């Protein structure tokens, strides 16, 4: 069965801390995504990776960076957390388009609170 | 610009009643379209998808959606809702060859007894 896991379901951090959110998929997918979800705004793409060590900015990359050293793992990094980064963070993966028509598989999410 | 619009923020229906959630898209060519559901505290689960062919698409949990090119719509329907259908529903779209999805802002569904 398809599986995307995220390292934490709930996380509380302080302003200025460096925060790592980890995502692992076991489907050998090429693409991995990080979204943030806020009420009334839906899902907004932060970063996207289509291969190891490759990344592309999404719609709202400011204040975030990512790392993909292995195909199955995609990390989201908040270099210096701020209160406006309090949100639900969702990771997703998908095979290359053309083989599965962009269907994305989602992890359960990490609810991050920055105090 | 490519976009997906869900005009209803919140919908309340009675258990056993029929349901229709609206989704409109704006793409240059026919996009791939998806409906996802998110139960409270969970990630998103794919309900159904449309790529081409038959414009009426069947999904899981008794849901279906109809692609209407003339109206640029892809509305989600269910003939009789159950209390377990209470969730948030997201419509999403993408062009062929584009790895990224564009999501609507979501519709929250409340079921009343």
Q: Give contacts of B42 with chain A, Cβ < 8 Å.
A: 108-109
For chain A, the first-to-last Cα distance in angstroms comes to 37
- String of DSSP letters for A81-114: --GGG-EEEEEEEEPPTTTSTT--EE---EEEEE
The answer, yes or no, to whether residue A91 has pLDDT greater than 60, is: yes
| Residue B54 distance to chain A (closest CA, Å) | 16
What average pLDDT does the segment B43-55 reach? 89
Contact between A87 and A108 under an 8 Å Cβ cutoff? The reply is no
What average pLDDT does the segment A48-57 reach? 92
Q: How far is CA A81 from CA A68, A89, A96, B82, in A?
A: 20, 14, 32, 41
Chain A contact for B59 (CB, 8 A cutoff): no
The answer, yes or no, to whether residue B83 has pLDDT greater than 90, is: yes
Which one of B3, B27, B34, B44 makes the best mutation probe of the A interface by having the most chain A beta carbons within 10 Å? B44
């Amino acid at each position: 069965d398809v599986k995307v896991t995220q390292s934490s379901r709930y996380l509380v951090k302080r302003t200025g801390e460096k925060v790592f959110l980890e995502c692992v998929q076991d489907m050998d997918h090429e693409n991995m995504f990080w979204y943030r979800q806020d009420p009334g705004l839906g899902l907004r793409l932060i970063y996207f990776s289509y291969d190891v060590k490759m990344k592309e900015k999404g719609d709202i990359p400011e204040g975030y960076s990512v790392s993909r050293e292995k195909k199955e793992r995609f990390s989201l990094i908040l270099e210096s957390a701020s209160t406006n980064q309090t949100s639900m963070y969702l990771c997703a993966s998908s095979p290359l388009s053309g083989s599965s028509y962009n269907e994305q598989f989602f992890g359960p999410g990490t609810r991050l609170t920055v105090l | 610009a490519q976009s997906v619009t869900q005009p209803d923020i919140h919908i309340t229906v009675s258990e056993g009643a029929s349901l229709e959630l609206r989704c409109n898209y704006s793409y240059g060519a026919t996009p791939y379209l998806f409906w996802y559901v998110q139960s409270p505290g969970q990630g998103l689960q794919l309900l159904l998808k449309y790529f081409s062919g038959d414009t009426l698409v069947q999904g899981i949990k008794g849901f279906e959606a109809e692609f209407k090119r003339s109206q640029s719509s892809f509305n989600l329907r269910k003939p009789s809702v159950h209390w377990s259908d209470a969730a948030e529903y997201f419509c999403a779209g993408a062009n062929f060859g584009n790895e990224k999805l564009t999501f609507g802002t979501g519709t929250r569904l409340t079921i009343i007894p």
